[in-house]
Chain A
Amino acid sequence: MKFLNRKMLLSAMAGVLAVSLAACGSSGNNKNDTSSPAASPNASESPKASQSGGSNEKVTITFQNIYPDPTDPKYNMLRKIVAQYEADHPNVKIELDSLNTDQQKLKLKTQAASKEVPDITIVNPAAQMKPFVDADLFAPLNEMVEKNGLKGTFQEGILDYYSFDGNLYALPDGNNIALIYYNKKMFEEAGAKVPTTFEELVDTVKQLKSKGMTPIAIGEKDSWTGSFLFMNVLLRTNGGPGFLQDVLDGKKTFEDPAFVEAVDAFQNLVQAGAFQEGATSFDYNAGENLFKTGKAAMYFMGSWATGGIETSTVGENGEVGVFKFPTVGGKGNPDEFMLAPGSAFAVSKNSKHLEETLDFLNYFMLNYPKEAFAVKGAVGVAQNIDEDFKAAGYSDMAMEVLGMFKDVKGGDLAFDNTMNPGTAQVHLSSIQNLFVAKKDSAEVGKEHQKGYEENKE
């Protein structure tokens, strides 16, 4: 009896020990590159199964995406394509992990730290995706994009933003430009005109303000929104694109007159009361909703917002117009835009079902433009669409935006797509600070330069 007890205890302990050791193992994680989720016991069988392509092995693909908002046309479109694919491939299940942009960025970084990237995830172009590519987390898409002529559907040059050392690592959902949406009805009530210069814009702001309206809506808790607007001012005061690149190349510093002038102009706008009170506590969606519900007269955003605005209250009433970001101090060309090559779909290199995932993404991207077109979300898609937008019932506003794309004569990428994350954070919080406090513009330049030098690699 005693012996039995002891034996039982021992085996129980051994079990407990194994469990605790396993816990230790997974918390120790990350530094050794060999450890990856793919190193599971059945890893030896799965290649065989996936070689046969459409085998009957049950496959679950995790699809992390940034379309969590059911009022956004893309939300339903995503689900529709997924449902179609699942119907054609009964053995494949696509699991959606829908998050808003900032949450997704953070989640992916946390996942990347433990090398547990979802099968398909979202990355941002250029500088923002570089750390992930450097860490060798993504599968090259060079071969996949050639299949079914997928590559040919993309606009020329757009894939360059997602290519490193000749390898393509992600496929963009959009190619957007920044512009200002405005509420025609509110402009009319306030007797305001569409501004053609930045100085007029400041006057318009004051005019709207004097009528008790919120002139410009912004979601500055997500600090990239303010930075995006600021960078457009800089694009003008610099007399053209390439300021940040010049800084990176050592040709200019942030103390350059063009930068200081941009800060000055931006502060003029803020000090004129352009943005809603408490702007820094509004997140992206809350800020955009102010405009969508007719509580703010203008909204500066990338053209990706067009679909959502079109289907919103003000959009359906046909009250929304658009204009290009005006010249600042007589400088710059309104046909140069803040360019926003969209967030893009990347595939995890360690995906357990790499083959199926690539096949699905290929299918998804081939259908994407068609389905986006159908739900009126095709403004700013990165792929060529040879359809008649007007006949398909796109609004005048959407047609105006589409027209703007034809005028694009170059431009700049957003700050955090050009500079490394450390510098970008210094910039983002420095600009956010301008919303709540008046600063000496030269100081702001110095702060940027210091942050840039400290974070230089």
Chain B
Amino acid sequence: MKVLKVSGWTIAAFVLPCLFLYVCLVFAPIIVSVYNGMLDWNGIGQSKFVGLANFEKMFTNDSLFWPAVGRTFLLAGFSMLIQLPVALFVAILISRFVRRTGFLVSSYFLPVILSVAVIGQLWKTIYNPAPMGGMINQILINLGLDSWTHSWLTEPKIAIYAIIVVALWQYLGYHILIQFTGIQNIPADIYEAAKIDGASGFKADRYITLPLIVPIFKISVVLSFIGSLQSFDLIMVMTGGGPANATNVLASYMYNMSFLSMKYGYGSAIASFLVVVCLAATVVINLLFNRLDKRFS
């Protein structure tokens, strides 16, 4: 404190407002949802305290809950395993081969700033059956691949993958931007030194770029993982969780339960579960990356 040469009051003045807001906007609602999760409540009328009954039902006796969890992790898994590596690869290519990077990076970034409603409608049209002008199906037909055509958003087994593709496409540019910036920040003299030692091209990437990008990559991983867990808007716009719950993820299931089935208490229980999963995921990812960091440093 003394070192900073400011009074405790000043520090408090700067920290407290934010802390208050944080407590009010983050912690209070979480605690309220956990409490609401213990209610049998339709959201507008009288409520009844039922303890952990909602959680018990959710974990043991709800045929829609675990599939929704599964789909949520499916989405997260795809963005980990496909989206981020692709983003990293593209970022490396751009920084290596492109002189004026602004245009390319902006184009990749464009979908991120479009509203999800626009993207949802756009892709709905692309996925439409051929008679309704669906692009993918028309291309398939023109290529003579009639048997490959699908009603992409309404076949229960395919619909969730169709949505995943859109989600990955939309945020690809976001992760390219993050990782591209990370690569740009690696000092050029390291590469020069490596060149003298005989490591250039992709060898330099393997031994310099990859290890040095780890901290930035971690941010990407956390953002994309948490983002996938919370994915909601795109699903609401494109399918509303349907057909018959086939594309429900945790967040959309929570919403449908709270507001369509009017089981606000039960919905809050799902919300609490979602919070716990997000926190756990963040901790696990941090642990993993701390280990990675150590290994490289």
- Chain A residues near B (Cβ < 8 Å): 6, 9-10, 12-13, 16-17, 20-21, 23-24, 27-28, 31, 106, 109-110, 112-113, 131-132, 134-135, 137, 214, 221, 223, 276-281, 420-422, 424-425, 429-430, 432-433, 435-437, 455
Contacts and interface: CB of A to CB of B under 8 A. Distances in A.
B25 A432 contact: no
Most chain A beta carbons < 10 A, residue from B21, B32, B43, B244: B244
Interface stretch (B95-103, B148-156, B203-211): B148-156
B198 interface: no
Interface in B8-24: 9-10, 12-13, 16-17, 20-21, 23-24
Interface in B107-153: 124, 127-129, 131-132, 151, 153
A20 B17 contact: yes
A432 B242 CA distance: 8
B262 interface: yes
B85 interface: no
A444 to B, nearest CB: 11
B17 A277 contact: no
Most chain B beta carbons < 10 A, residue from A277, A430, A432, A433: A277
B10 A9 contact: yes
Contact of A278 (B13, B28, B45, B151): B151
A429 B44 contact: no
A115 to B, nearest CB: 8
B202 interface: no
Nearest to B238: A281
Contacts of A425: 256, 260-261
Interface residues on B, range: 35 or more
B280 to A, nearest CB: 25
Interface of B: 7, 9-10, 12-13, 16-17, 20-21, 23-25, 28-29, 32, 42-47, 124, 127-129, 131-132, 151, 153-156, 238-240, 242-246, 256, 259-264
Contacts of B127: 281
Nearest to B61: A454
B54 to A, nearest CB: 13
Contact of A436 (B29, B240, B244): B244
Contacts of B151: 277-278
10 contacts: A10-B9, A20-B17, A21-B20, A23-B25, A24-B23, A27-B24, A106-B260, A109-B44, A214-B131, A280-B153
A273 to B, nearest CB: 12
A280 B243 contact: yes
Contacts of B42: 131, 421
A278 B29 CA distance: 39
The 7 lowest CB-CB distance pairs between A and B, nearest first, are: A433-B244, A20-B20, A277-B129, A421-B262, A280-B243, A135-B44, A135-B45
B64 to A, nearest CB: 9
A430 B263 CA distance: 18
Contacts of B155: 436
A455 B29 CA distance: 27
Given A27-B25, A112-B44, A221 B132 contact: no
A113 B128 CA distance: 37
A106 B13 CA distance: 40
Contact of A9 (B9, B124, B244, B263): B9
B45 A131 contact: yes
A17 B19 CA distance: 10
Given A16-B16, A31-B47, A131-B44, A422 B263 contact: yes
Contacts of A278: 128-129, 132, 151, 153-154
Given A131-B262, A425-B260, A425-B261, A137 B153 contact: no
Contacts of A112: 43-44
Contacts of A13: 12-13, 16-17
Contacts of A31: 47
A421 B264 CA distance: 12
A421 B28 contact: no
Given A20-B24, A280-B154, A421-B42, A429 B13 contact: no
Nearest to A111: B44
Contacts of B47: 31
Contacts of B260: 106, 421, 425
A432 B44 CA distance: 27
Given A137-B44, A221-B239, A277-B132, A113 B264 contact: yes
Given A281-B238, A433-B243, 5 more contacts: A21-B20, A135-B46, A223-B242, A277-B154, A278-B154
A135 B129 CA distance: 45
A223 B10 CA distance: 57
Nearest to A420: B262
A134 B262 CA distance: 14
Given A28-B32, A421-B42, A436-B243, A16 B129 contact: no
A420 B40 CA distance: 15
Nearest to B47: A31
A36 B64 CA distance: 36
A280 B24 contact: no
Nearest to A221: B240
A17 B20 contact: yes
Contacts of B246: 436
A218 to B, nearest CB: 12
A110 B42 CA distance: 11
A422 B262 contact: yes
B154 A279 contact: yes
B129 A422 contact: no
Nearest to B21: A20
A109 B242 contact: no
Given A17-B20, A281-B124, A422-B262, A134 B45 contact: yes
Contacts of B28: 24, 27-28
A429 B45 contact: no
A12 B10 CA distance: 11
Contacts of A437: 156, 244
Contact of B132 (A23, A223, A276, A420): A276
A16 B238 CA distance: 41
Contact of B13 (A9, A109, A113, A221): A9
A214 B129 CA distance: 12
B24 A109 contact: no
Nearest to A20: B20
Contacts of B43: 109, 112-113
B13 A12 contact: yes
Contact of A429 (B128, B154, B242): B242
A277 B150 CA distance: 10
A436 B156 CA distance: 7
A287 to B, nearest CB: 12
Contacts of A433: 156, 243-244
Most chain A beta carbons < 10 A, residue from B9, B10, B132: B132
